[in-house]
């Protein structure tokens, strides 16, 4: 139960607190911190065959070091924005990655600190593992609370132009800090399977199926089209609820700029911008 004080400031904080806990997990069917990059969001948001944030074994598919930053704003509500950034250090022995994500505002904030590594274990197989710490802070709590969890990811490349992925996210998950705060919502258990397939040189098709703890199965399907060098057009669809997405990407030398939007029939439009640098 939530108690709303007469004080206008506290009333605003409490209402936003309710919005974070009730609206966000149901609307996006994923945790607030595990937001894919804008390219992945634009093609359905599956992530398991697209980004190391959802499948750490994908570090082995990168050919260069990479620094990235993303800003994603849900439904034009600034308090529901997610900001993320990270560094992927690529080498032949053991690629590693560091990710940092922040969701919320001053009075309610969720934070993610993640370390991942991967190894190619056979010609067509790669394995990855990640360890992350999630921190929950709010003016409504006397103390902060956190959780430590792990991810395991596998990629398999059956043919030259296709990649498949499988990941287990936030399993196991252990609470640390104040045990009186129920923070399990920040690390839902997720099982993902998906693929990407370069049908021709200019068209990439992606798809995924997710099982999310205590929620229905979620499916996604997307396409990326490259009409000319350095420019990409993207579209996708995600279920439960049905959410279409659109986006574009433009590459300038080693800099990639991505923009995307997702439409929810009740809550409206979510938009974001991302930038990455490969070296």
CATH code for the domain of 195: 2.40.160.40
Strands 173-177 and 190-200: unpaired
First to last CA, the chain: 50
Q: How far is CA 206 from CA 29, 196, 273, in A?
A: 19, 4, 21
Residue 108 lies in a domain: yes
Q: Is residue 148 part of a domain?
A: yes
| pLDDT of 2 | 33
- Per-residue pLDDT of the chain (279 residues), as tens digits, is 233 333 454 445 444 545 544 444 444 444 678 888 999 999 998 899 999 999 999 999 999 999 999 999 999 888 899 999 999 999 989 999 999 999 998 888 999 999 999 999 999 999 999 999 999 888 877 778 889 999 999 999 999 899 999 999 998 889 887 667 777 777 888 999 999 999 988 999 999 999 987 777 899 999 999 999 899 999 999 998 899 999 999 999 999 999 999 999 998 999 999 999 999
The answer to the question of residue 226 being in a domain is: yes
The pLDDT value recorded for residue 19 is 52
Q: Which domain holds residue 42?
A: 8-278
Residue 1, in any domain of the structure: no
Residue 101 lies in a domain: yes
Count up the domains in the chain and report the number.
1
- 124 within some domain: yes
Q: For position 9, what pLDDT does the model report?
A: 47
Q: Flag whether 3 is in a domain.
A: no
- Confirm whether 189 is domain-assigned: yes
């Amino acid at each position: 139960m939530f108690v709303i004080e007469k004080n206008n400031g506290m009333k605003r904080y409490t209402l936003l607190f309710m919005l974070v806990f009730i609206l966000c997990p149901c609307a996006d069917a994923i945790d607030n911190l595990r937001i894919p990059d804008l390219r992945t969001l634009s093609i359905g948001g599956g992530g398991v065959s697209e980004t190391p944030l959802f499948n750490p074994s994908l570090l082995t598919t990168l050919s260069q070091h990479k620094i990235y930053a993303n800003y994603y704003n849900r439904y034009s509500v600034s308090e529901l924005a997610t900001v993320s950034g990270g560094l992927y250090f690529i080498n032949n022995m053991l690629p590693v990655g560091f990710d940092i994500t922040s969701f919320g505002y001053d009075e309610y904030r969720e934070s993610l600190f993640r370390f991942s590594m991967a190894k190619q274990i056979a010609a067509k197989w790669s394995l990855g593992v990640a360890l992350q710490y999630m921190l929950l802070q709010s003016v409504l709590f006397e103390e902060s609370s956190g959780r430590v969890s792990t991810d395991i990811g596998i990629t398999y490349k059956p043919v030259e132009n296709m990649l498949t992925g499988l990941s287990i996210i936030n399993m196991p998950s252990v609470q640390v800090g104040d045990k009186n705060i129920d923070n399990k919502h920040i690390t839902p258990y997720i099982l993902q399977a998906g693929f990407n397939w370069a049908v021709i040189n200019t068209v990439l098709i992606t798809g995924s199926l997710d099982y999310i703890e205590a929620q229905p199965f979620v499916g996604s399907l997307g396409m990326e089209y490259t009409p000319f060098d350095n420019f990409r057009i993207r579209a996708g669809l995600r279920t439960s609820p049905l959410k279409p997405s659109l986006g574009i990407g433009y590459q300038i030398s080693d800099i990639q700029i991505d923009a995307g939007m997702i439409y929810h029939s009740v809550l409206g439009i979510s938009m974001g911008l991302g930038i990455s640098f490969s070296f």
